[in-house]
Amino acid sequence: MQPKEEWQYEWTVVKSHWCPAVGGEAQLLEKRVYPSADFLATETFRIVEQRCSHDIACNLNEHVHCKWAGTNPANDPFAEE
């Protein structure tokens, strides 16, 4: 039986901007996974999830949601213009 690999998770703010839907700053967050093996001297990570800091509150409002709230893949307020 192989030893179980352990992973370290970390939520990281990737970008912030003014969001008119919530009337304030919103942050795009990434859930990053880092291997915890001591012999790997690397800062590489894998992104396993992305979301907005207001995703739940945003979904409770009666406005058009964005892809980071998980409901509208066509609307990306964090996209570069």
- The answer as to whether 60 is a domain residue is yes
Helix (H, G, I), strand (E, B) or coil at 69: helix
For the chain, the domain total comes to: 1
Which residue range forms the structural domain that includes residue 16? Answer: 7-37+44-69
2 in a structural domain:
no
In a domain, 1, yes or no: no
CB 70 within 8 A of CB 51: yes
* pLDDT 10s digits, 1-60: 555 556 678 899 998 988 877 788 989 898 998 876 665 666 788 888 888 888 888 778
- pTM score over 0.85: no
The answer to whether position 30 is within a domain reads yes
